[in-house]
Amino acid sequence: MTDLFSLAGKKALITGAARGLGRAMAEALHEAGAAVAVMDVLDGMERAAAEMGRQGPPVHAFRADLGDRGQIRSAFGLAVKALGGLDILVNNAGMHVRKSVLDHRDEDWDRIVAVNMTAPFLLAQLAAPIMLAQGSGKILNVASMLAFFGGVNGSSYAATKGAVAQLTKSMSNEWTGRGICVNAIAPGYLDTDLNKSMADDFRRTVLMRLPKGHFAKPEELKGVVTFLCSPASDYISGAVIPVDGGYSAR
């Protein structure tokens, strides 16, 4: 049974892995046996990669602004070369601007669309030919429960995460019959830097509705990520799985 969840010998690329949820996801894949390449623009990425790579398979770091298509293409090529191939792509990187629709600036909208929606599309477009040629692969996108609800003061974030959910389904329709499983997780409220700007009164309101009673720690998503990137999920594709402590069921 344990072999079903093993990623030994696999090669994985994950974006936004310098800290928080992305770091935990990269650790999960590495702990399951995969060689990992992390792609991020934040300081600390190289340190995170070095810490993860002290034991087990190698971990590589590649700096790229995921709002820049040229940097994405360049870093992707370097990552695949360093890994010696690609079996798993995790599109995790994301941005959020907490502003009302009327207060959104053009640059807010354009930046979030580029990082949250265009980058996952482009990276999947780059990864798929490799995976199709070998007849296997896993693409895991990170949506959000705001893909279902819309949220408040986060129109660009909700719109792009809704798009990620639909991209997941569209890619699955095109590639699953040719060996690539494409899925997404929709995380709920997490104790990450992205949520530090949340107002205290709103945080209390969320906790009152949250059956688990606490915001998730990034490590609590390791299991579902490993599952969706492993042979254990080979018959799952096109799914958008809430990982929200029961929030969406209330």
Structure tokens belonging to residue 222: 């390791």
Locate 72 and state its tokens. 């994405």
What 8-state DSSP symbol labels residue 190?
Answer: B
Total domain count for the chain?
Answer: 1
Distances (CA, A) of 109 to 15, 178, 192: 20, 35, 22
Q: What is the dihedral of CA 115, 32, 171, 245, to 10 degrees?
A: -70
**Per-residue pLDDT tens for 156-198?**
999 999 999 999 999 999 999 999 999 999 998 887 665 655 6
User: What pLDDT, in 10s, does the model give residues 199-236?
Assistant: 566 677 777 787 887 888 999 999 999 999 999 999 99
Q: What is the dihedral of CA 188, 192, 195, 200, to 10 degrees?
A: 100
- The answer to whether 247 is a known catalytic residue is no
Residue 182, SS3? strand
Each residue's pLDDT tens digit, 120-158: 999 999 999 999 999 999 999 999 999 998 888 889 999
Contact residues for 116 (Cβ-Cβ < 8 A; gap 6+)? 93, 94, 95, 156, 157, 160, 161, 163, 164
**Residue range 7-18: average pLDDT?**
96
List the one residue out of 138, 221, 128 whose CA is nearest residue 174: 128
Q: Which of 187, 246, 180 is nearest to 220 (CA)?
A: 187
Give me the count of residues in the chain.
250
CATH number of the domain enclosing 183: 3.40.50.720
Show the domain range for 179: 2-249
Residues 157, 189, 235, 247: which is the catalytic one?
Answer: 157
**Spatial separation of the C-alpha atoms in residues 22 and 219, rounded to whole Å:** 10
